[in-house]
Amino acid sequence: MNASAEAIAAKPSTVTADKLGQDQSTATTVGEITSANPRMRCREVNVWYDDNHAIKDVSLDIGQNEVISMIGPSGCGKSTFLRCLNRMNDTISTARVEGSIQLDDQEIQDKSIDVVPLRARVGMVFQKPNPFPKSIYENIAYGPRIHGLTNSRAELDELVETSLQRAGLWKEVKDRLDASGTSLSGGQQQRLCIARTLSVSPEVILMDEPCSALDPIATAIIEELIDELRAQYTIAIVTHSMQQAARVSQRTAYFHLGDLVEVGTTDDIFNQPQHKLTEDYITGRFG
């Protein structure tokens, strides 16, 4: 708590931890938004869908080799915020994003930034497994091919193998790389999608409720995988399951109606929530 108190003094955008929060439309965030070793730095991000203000002045750092989970009730904007981080909101014609989002001190909101290399650096895994209707091999080879990452078939084979190995899928599919990606089970499909994301060597991986369509066993495998991936990647995960957030993440951010209400270490958020809304949510009073 001491470390965070010092940081709070330095940052005007944070507020000391006295249980405020009767005011529902809090514009300020409780807790420590900064990270010791930030890879992505978001400041005063606002998102509108037409006239609907979906994200309100959210500022948050995402640190190197950490898993940060974003929780909150449905429609709180956590997925929208995640999609800002690799500019996936560009594909929604009504969406408008304002504010500053930096990846390694480079402003990604800048219209002159090419989204193609950005999305190769910031990969994304979706809620529903979405393998392409191609073979397992082609699903993985797709990314390296469009980015020209390999020079020969042998190199590509190797990259496919290492990607599948890192996603923990290699042993299960090595004998049927020509089978269709859609023929796998749901959990395998999701690991295939993770392998696909890893194949282009991203630095940050965004996961949008990656386990919500999976059974508990497949979920456990993916959670284990996330923990292993942390050593090499920076991971931001949106989840509906508070247990999952508690299991996989080091930091947790609580969103409510487009506001980032509270952010802190996962332990603190779940054991000593500072904000009334956070406490209500994690104790199951709503959401």
Binding site for another protein (CB under 8 A): 86, 88, 91, 93, 115-120, 123-124, 126, 128, 130-134, 142-143, 146-147, 182, 193, 196-197, 200
Minimum CB distance to another protein, residue 116 (Å): 5
Minimum CB distance to another protein, residue 150 (Å): 15
Q: What are phi and psi of 153, to 5 degrees?
A: -60, -40
44 within 8 A of 57, measured Cβ to Cβ:
yes
Identify which of residues 184 and 261 has a Cβ nearer to another protein in the complex. Answer: 184
Identify which of residues 22 and 93 has a Cβ nearer to another protein in the complex. Answer: 93
Q: Are strands 67-71 and 234-238 parallel, antiparallel or unpaired?
A: parallel
Identify which of residues 33 and 237 has a Cβ nearer to another protein in the complex. Answer: 237
263 within 8 A of 251, measured Cβ to Cβ:
yes
Determine the Cα–Cα distance for residues 165 and 154; give it in Å rounded to an integer.
Answer: 16
Q: At what angle do helices 136-147 and 186-198 cross, to 10 degrees?
A: 20
Minimum CB distance to another protein, residue 143 (Å): 4
Determine the Cα–Cα distance for residues 90 and 150; give it in Å rounded to an integer.
Answer: 28
Identify which of residues 146 and 179 has a Cβ nearer to another protein in the complex. Answer: 146
Identify which of residues 189 and 252 has a Cβ nearer to another protein in the complex. Answer: 189
Minimum CB distance to another protein, residue 238 (Å): 14
185 within 8 A of 158, measured Cβ to Cβ:
no
- The distance between the two most distant Cα atoms of the chain, rounded to a whole number of Å, is 61
Minimum CB distance to another protein, residue 121 (Å): 8
Identify which of residues 148 and 216 has a Cβ nearer to another protein in the complex. Answer: 148
Two tokens, residue 208: 């949008």
Sheet of strand 29-31, all strands in order from the earlier edge strand to the far edge: 14-15, 29-31, 259-265, 251-256, 67-71, 234-238, 204-208, 122-125
Minimum CB distance to another protein, residue 90 (Å): 8
Half-sphere exposure of 43 (CA within 13 A, CB side): 13
Identify which of residues 133 and 216 has a Cβ nearer to another protein in the complex. Answer: 133
Minimum CB distance to another protein, residue 133 (Å): 5
